[in-house]
Amino acid sequence: METTAAIDINQHLKKAISNAFKEVFHHELSGEEVALQPTRKEFEGSHTFVVFPYLKITRKPPEASGELLGTHIVDNTDIVQSFNVVKGFLNLELTDKLWIDIFNQMAGQENYGLIEATQDELMVEYSSPNTNKPLHLGHLRNNFLGYAVSKILEAQGNKVHKVQIINDRGIHICKSMVAWLKYGQGETPESSGTKGDKLVGDYYVKFDREYKLQIEELIGAGHEKEWAEKNAQILLEAQDMLRKWEQKEPEVYNLWEKMNGWVYSGFEASYNTMGVTFDKLYYESNTFLLGKDEILSGLEKGIFFKKEDGSVWVDLTEDGLDQKILLRSDGTSVYMTQDIGTAILRFRDFPNIKSQIYTVGNEQEYHFRVLFLILDKLGYTWAKNCYHLSYGMVDLPSGKMKSREGTVVDADDLMQQMVDTAAERTRELGKIDGFTDEQASDLYNIIGLGALKYFILKVDPRKRMLFNPEESIDFQGNTAPFIQYTYARIAAILRKAKQLSIADQPYKITTLHSAEKEVVMLLNEFPDRIKLAAKEYAPYIIAQFAYDLAKEYNRFYAEVSIFNEENKNALYFRIAFSAVVARTIKTAMGLLGIEVPERM
RNA sequence: GGUUCCAUAGCUCAACUGGAUAGAGCAACUGCCUUCUAAGCAGUAGGUUCGGGGUUCGAGUCCCUGUGGAAUCACCA
């Protein structure tokens, strides 16, 4: 109903089927009850009606029922050209005229597939890194996913606020700070030429190494392992630093600001390469005290309860979960407390948002179930609209990435490697004649990052995915470069058409080549695919669509000549047709945060 | 132990939410560049959808059960 397609085929067909039921079988069947599905490739037709569920109504065998319905539909509508029945499947073949009309409609819409009307205002959170470590492959999945989902929701007419919360405080950053003070000798990103986030991350690693040494020494001196882990000198120093930070001791606070500043400029560079942006940043250092008041007032209202030691809990056993702590016995907050506070803060900052979408790994599924339940219990009606966009880990062939074991794939390194590979491949193929250095470098970025983004986004986010750094990501087949290449080919056609002054010419045609029809059928699905992708928060649906479209167009490209076509109408149509395909590919890839090149 | 998620071709992933003969790509093999870009197109081969039951016209999809894997259940974040 919100689709931008002016001709709603489904609606027409459902009505036709429901009419057929009425007149052939004397049975009222509302259009809504009729389910249509796309016809499988190996059969003639585009829309299929499954008659099995209706045999009790028709009181005839499936084939006969299908025949009767099909005959009635063909006789009584002007959009269905013919039909065939295979077992209980009624396949409907629409007229070329209808497909041409549909194509003309979408060709006239500059933003085909996108919905202009503002629906809801939403917030999407993604990235949200810690400031003690550089970004890695897992963050890439998070960022690409969050950004793509934001784009897709915008395409559905929502106003989206992209935010992240930066975990800028806590023991982890203090560890880096301690190590830097001890071993840094005043090193700065400028002095050593190290990217800020990498530099801070290096000191985090240095801390960990020293910490382990101290533990071993303590064990060697006869202490229990557990005691050693809690009493290693360097850890005590970090904890002391955290206390000083909380008291805002100027020396510590300044150092904290300085080192975080390094990290932020490093992150900014990474986000820039990734091509993701944010509308508002939240910092944990500003929000970590929030939520406590909410808990206390919830306690007064009897939503929460206090244990003997003074700690505050929520009982979720009725919801199938456990009890969960909200305030420690000393009255301080836990992670959950902060998240409650931050969620409420955001709804105050953006009073019109309907829901928040949290792009966070699936290891926090339990956390978010609890969070949404608590917010609901506190009486926030928006809580039930909130959604945890959960995604699986990215595994390496060796198993899970572990920063302490050095088995992380660094985000910057990986992106650079992809761009380098793209450059190498492009040069091998001799594709950059006449490019300036800048154009060439842009192209490598578009291809390399496109390949990486597509590789990650084409997978259902819920599933774990495997990344093998040994095998480079493909540039052929179901990949971004394949789709980008299709776009670039069309761009070449359109340039030539312009040169020959035969672009944007009016045409009048009555039949379509089968390859053209297949493509138009796909194009027609675009609005529905976006709608589904938005509903499911699933960019992979868009990725699949872009691939299908490119694949189908390439078939047309191989089978049908454009500039050798002597019939002017067919020639002009094919140029317009190619332009719409290119435009749609660009839009679809844009929803994934992937650019397309005019030449490659 | 409780809860949740996952298991599909040698590998990486699909299967429009219960529909037809389970599809793509990579890797392997065969063809196609003097015509709009071969990062392409056409084709061959590759499957007991983890095992076992059940529900029904019809199951990779839903239910039960077993096996294998993952996450989570912290006064950690």
Higher pLDDT, A8 or A1: A8
Q: What is the pTM of this model?
A: 0.94
pLDDT the model gives residue A2: 38
| Position A117, amino acid | A
Section A147-155 average pLDDT: 96
Q: What is the pLDDT of residues A58-94, one digit of tens each?
A: 889 999 999 999 999 999 999 999 999 998 899 999 9
Q: How far is the CA of A52 from the C1' of B58 (A)?
A: 9
Other residues' Cβ atoms within 10 Å of the Cβ of residue A59: 11
Cα–Cα nearest to A274, from A442, A147, A130, A421? A147
Convert the pLDDT of each residue in A447-469 to its tens digit.
Answer: 999 999 999 999 999 888 888 87
| Strands of the sheet with A305-306, listed across from one edge | A305-306, A312-315, A323-327
Separation of alpha carbons A318 and A271, rounded Å: 43
Query: Using the CA of A474, which nucleotide's C1' is the nearest one?
Result: B26
Tell me what the mean pLDDT of segment A166-189 comes to.
Answer: 94
> Are the CB atoms for A93 and A518 separated by under 8 Å?
no
In this prediction, what percent of chain A has a pLDDT beyond 70?
97
Nucleotide with C1' nearest the A490 CA: B36
The spacing between the Cα labelled CA in A369 and the C1' in B66, in angstroms, equals 30
Predicted interface score ipTM higher than 0.90: yes
Smallest CA–C1' separation from A333, nucleotide: B75
Find the Å distance, CA of residue A245 to C1' of nucleotide B56.
66
Q: How big is chain A, counted in residues?
A: 600
What's the pLDDT score for residue A179?
Answer: 96
| Residues 6 or more apart whose Cβ sits within 8 Å of residue A136 | A401, A403, A408, A409, A410, A411
pLDDT per position as a tens digit, A561-571: 999 998 999 99
Contact A75, A84 (CB under 8 A): no
The answer to whether A231 CB sits below 7 Å from nucleic acid chain B is: no
